[in-house]
Structure 1
Amino acid sequence: MKTIHHITRRQVWEEALRSGNYQADSLLTEGFIHCSTPVQVLRTAERFFKNQTGLIILYIDIDKVESEVRYEPADNELFPHIYGALNLDAVYKTIDFEARDNYFVR
């Protein structure tokens, strides 16, 4: 199984579970859902989610994602982007992810 990660607010994920549909804000504004590889996820958190609370990481089985997944360049790396809604059954695990004194703990 090949895993990619997506960081979101717990409240947003819980609403997706109730509605049966997950669409990050970036899907509307940029046309895709930002994700990270396992190696990139902590750097992504430090850069974009510093000092935020109520976060979770979605563990996504890339083979189950129904929308197109593209690896595209950003910051001299290739990041996975999901071009469409994320089907909930592609998410096989979630973990709480909180900032503590300028670093993240799982």
Structure 2
Amino acid sequence: MPKLPYILHITERALWDAARGRGTYEMSTRGRTLREVGFVHFSSRAQLPRVAAFLYGSYDCPEDLVVLVVDPALLGVPVRWEAVEPDGEEFPHVYGPVPVDAVVDVEPWG
């Protein structure tokens, strides 16, 4: 079975630090939780710059942003590549909390 590519999620460093204390990361996207949305938004490496610009383009402290690099094989919950709009580009969505152990790297944004 081929290894799945890593998926990426941009977030605020403080949110990641809090997740490390809990053992799971549960923010879906900027200002929205997994509970509110039903999944955690992710992107591929190629999609990340557009997603970051859309979510954090006017963010006052870009140095406080980090990129979570996640191995889908370590999640233990479903990952589905889905289009946000019909016939649109597909993005990875994680349907459950992200265990901190599934985060194989944390990169600074910028």
TM range (shorter): 0.7 to 0.9
Tell me, in whole angstroms, the C-alpha distance in 1 between the residues paired with 2:37 and 2:18: 21
The answer as to 2:82 corresponding to 1:72 is: yes
Match of 1:92 in 2: 104
Listed one character per residue, the Cα deviations across residues 8-40 of structure 1 (whole Å, up to 9, x for unaligned) are: 110000011112121113312110000001110
The gaps in structure 1 that reach 5 residues or longer are 98-104
| Amino acid in structure 2 at the alignment position of 1:57 | V
Instruction: Return 25-34 or 76-85, whichever deviates more.
Output: 25-34
The answer to whether the Cα contact below 8 Å between 1:26 and 1:34 also exists between their aligned partners in 2 is no
The answer to whether the Cα contact below 8 Å between 1:9 and 1:56 also exists between their aligned partners in 2 is yes
Percent identity between the two aligned chains = 33
Structure 2 counterpart of 1:18, from 9, 18, 21: 21
Q: How many residues align?
A: 98
Q: CA deviation at 1:71?
A: 0.6
RMSD over aligned CA atoms reads: 1.2
The answer to whether the Cα contact below 8 Å between 1:59 and 1:93 also exists between their aligned partners in 2 is yes
The gaps in structure 2 that reach 5 residues or longer are none
Tell me, in whole angstroms, the C-alpha distance in 1 between the residues paired with 2:16 and 2:108: 11
Structure 2 counterpart of 1:57, from 67, 82, 96: 67
Alignment TM-score, normalising by the size of structure 2:
0.83
Larger strand percent: 1
